[in-house]
Amino acid sequence: MLLALFVPTAGASILSGYIYCGGVGSVTGTTGFVGGVAVPVSSIDTSGVATITCSSIGSVPTGDYISQVDLELRDDAQKPVASGASVISTWTGVSGLTFVTNNPLEVITTGSTDGTSFDQCLPTSGMTATPPGTCPTFLDFAQTGTQTSFGAVKLTVVATAGTLGGVGLNGGDSADLYIQYEYSSTTPEPATLGLMGMALLGLVFGSKKLSRRR
């Protein structure tokens, strides 16, 4: 008689890391970032091109690997100049992970339908956003292999007014970048190890009973 050993398989546990990379904002009454403010690890050049850098991830826990990296783009604007006004944000990948190959990564239009607030936010071109047509915009990049770290990720963003104008005299616009990464465990969970141990004990006792009957 054969004894069958059924050992439960460990499902890969998925954990997440979430990092605020930085952001930029315009001068009051101005669309775009010329002369604006930049929070840590961000900068703005004289032409209004803002650069935001996400810190590198040195290493995930031993036995884990990075399975996915997501960029979260947050574009916002206040007090439009008129109904139909819009702010167009163009995000471009500069360096970092190998996914920065499709440029511009995303073009996002923040618009106003009532002239009092920017009540629309729509990714208009670039990579497919998840979920599509909503803001903030999430760009998903699945990772393959057993990658355990990644370097600093650098993006630029430029904001311009639409054909019907952008922000009003007391308005302003901003852009922020976040990065989220998921890492999966290749090590069986403690509970699974316990179940495997119980299964092995059952195999030992079962084989002893069979030997006594012979």
Token reading at 119: 């009540």
pTM of the model: 0.76
213 part of a folded domain = no
**Domain annotation covers residue 69:** yes
4 within a domain of the structure (yes/no): no
Give the pLDDT confidence of 56-83 residue by residue, as tens digits.
877 777 778 888 888 899 999 999 999 9
The Cβ of residue 75 has, within 10 Å, a number of other Cβ atoms equal to 24
**Tally of domains in the chain:** 1
Q: With respect to residue 24, please indicate whether it lies within any of the assigned structural domains.
A: yes
Q: Name 9's Cβ contacts closer than 8 Å, sequence gap at least 6.
A: 192
Is residue 24 very low, low, confident or very high in pLDDT (cuts 50, 70, 90)? very high
Domain region containing 79: 20-187
CB–CB of 113/89 below 8 Å?
Answer: no
